[in-house]
Amino acid sequence: MEILPDIASLINSTLRISTPLIFAAMAGLFAERSGVIDFGLEGKMLGGAFVAATVAHWSQSAWLGLFGSICIGVIFSLIHGYASVTKRGNQVVSCVAINIFAMGLTVVLANAWFGMGGTTPQLPKEARFLPIDLPFAEDLQNLPLIGKLYFELISGHNILVYIAFITVPLTAWLVFKSSFGLRLRATGENPLAVDTTGISVNKIRYQALVLNGILGGMSGAYLSTAHLGFFVKDMSAGKGYLALAAMIVGNWKPFYAMFACLSFSILFAIKDKPEISEILKDFVPVKLLDSILEMSPYILTVIILAGFVGKAIAPKAIGKPFSKEK
């Protein structure tokens, strides 16, 4: 039974690591279901992390930091929308520009404002999202199975973790069950048919991009105000691209994308567990083992994409600028 605490710890780590990936994957899903490519998740995540840490530091409020990250995420999405929807520019180029812009500007501003080599000050407890104990968690922890599950795995996370997992069914309902979702999916599949019904294709795509920016900003806020407690250069570390991969593997469906995010995250969680290294170091040289564990999430991403990307069915109009016929 001694292995159970280790398993619980591994699952807890997986849930926390998957949170920004889930936010970003849902963000990308809204944009791409409307027909707009979004490689800019990395930039939104990085920009959101910096603004959240900065605003939380100045205001001493994690919630104001979250609001700031949402604002910068929406701004980046609207810039992408103006370039790719209004001006019908190359969507991939627009995304790459946003990512490069975010990578450079966050470091420059962090150096200018804080003088700490691209890092923001450590946030105090009142300016961070801290773990919360759910009702009756302490009372139920001694109950077999259910009580342990509730206390060890469900309770004790910060509020953004819960919001991320709630976002998945909400996204599924909004995309597949609501009238907005019907228009959204139709815009991504056949924008000309949507236009003939009198519905503005550009309006739907901008609405999708606003939702994209909100969730993309929240993914960054989690990194700096909940996970780490400060901003550091390039702290997103490719998670935006992993979220994009999870969305593709999930075939642009929320629950499948969530499970892909969890699959990637468990490898990060394993990498951070010294117990795993202790078990494997007798079979693999330590330096090689560290490299393998470090690369494993990205290797899995490549393998999964190679196996699934051909089977994934993207929206038919994705990446194609819409020109209203006269």
Return d(Cα 50, Cα 44) in angstroms, integer: 10
- Burial track 5-14 (b if 16+ CB lie within 10 A, e otherwise): eeeeebbbbb
pLDDT single digits (tens) 97-133: 999 999 999 999 999 998 888 899 999 988 999 988 8
Residue of 8, 30, 20 whose CA lies nearest to 178: 30
| Mean pLDDT rounded to a whole number for the chain | 86
pTM (2 decimals)?
A: 0.90
pLDDT single digits (tens) 45-93: 999 999 999 999 999 999 999 999 999 999 999 999 999 999 998 999 9
* pLDDT for res 1: 44
Reported confidence tier of residue 281, pLDDT bands at 50, 70, 90: low
Say if residue 26 is exposed, middle or buried (CB neighbours under 10 Å; 0-12, 13-18, 19+): buried
- Burial track 39-75 (b if 16+ CB lie within 10 A, e otherwise): bbbbbbbbbbbbbbbbbbbeeebbebbbbbbbbbbbe
pLDDT single digits (tens) 156-211: 889 999 999 999 999 999 999 999 999 999 999 999 999 888 899 999 999 999 99
pLDDT single digits (tens) 14-38: 889 999 999 999 999 999 999 999 9
Instruction: Give the CATH number of domain 3-308.
Output: 1.10.3470
Is the per-residue pLDDT at 326 higher than 60? Answer: no
* pLDDT for res 85: 92
User: What SS3 state is found at 238?
Assistant: coil
Q: Which amino acid is at 77?
A: S
